Amino acid sequence: MTMARNESIARMVMFLCFGAAILSLAVQWHTMKTTAQSNPNLSTNNRQNYQNHGDFGKNPGENVVAQKNVQNTNTQKQLHTANNKPRGFFFSDLAEAQSVPDSDQIKTQLLVDLSDRRVYVYHYDQVIASYPIAVGKKGWETPTGNFQIIHKEHHPIWKHPITGKVFEAGTDSPLGDRWIGFWSDGKNEIGFHGTPNTDLIGAAVSHGCLRMRNADVRMLYEQVNLNTPVLVRN
């Protein structure tokens, strides 16, 4: 009787061990199957991510080459521009001051040479016009530096900076019939304008402005726009 009971217990223990082994194998098989199914999705995602990072070119690494080519092209343009400036005038500092990455984006530029008493009009890298000017006298020197056109006006009215006298627009106006402003402190402006006293063109006689013959300032007025860069140097 005791022996029969021991055999029954041993048989139950054997069945339990066998069942545990089968369950373990089933769990392991399920885990391997789940992992195998997830790997293709992971591979697909990796391919998609790689393709998204390569949008600059059709082939792997082409985006890097394209960027280098653009940089090299811009460098070559800058070198070509600097080496081919007519009259020895260089606008690389002006382009940097205006934060323009490519000089081709600057169609028209003005160079004011105070010692030469002339303003030069550039279209891209070519001088298309130049005009004689009168400049600021001692104590009222024309400011130098990089500027841009901020104000254009027909038949301007002028207020004398010392006496406060107001000069109405007209043929005898000290400002002529055109005003092209490029500097301001918020109250006063300095710019190009006409003058009835053409005999003073080429002299240092103004309060900082650049006087021009009326016919010349009319032409300059049509050649520039607001935001046109202006470089003034001694």
Percentages of the chain per state (helix, strand, coil), in multiples of 5: 40, 25, 30
Contacts with 216 (C-beta within 8 Å, 6 or more apart), sequence order: 131, 132, 194
Other Cβ atoms within 10 Å of 152 Cβ, number: 17
- First vs last Cα of the chain: how many Å apart? 125
Active-site residue identified among 53, 123, 193, 207 = 193
The helix/strand/coil state of 84 is coil
Strands (E) located in the chain: 108-113, 118-123, 126-132, 135-136, 145-148, 151-154, 158-159, 166-167, 178-184, 189-195, 204-206, 210-213, 229-233
Active site residue 209: yes
Active site residue 193: yes
Give, in degrees to the nearest 5, the angle at Cα 99 between 96 and 102: 80
Active-site residue identified among 123, 151, 155, 209 = 209
Give, in degrees to the nearest 5, the angle at Cα 75 between 72 and 76: 85
Residues carrying an active site annotation: 193, 209
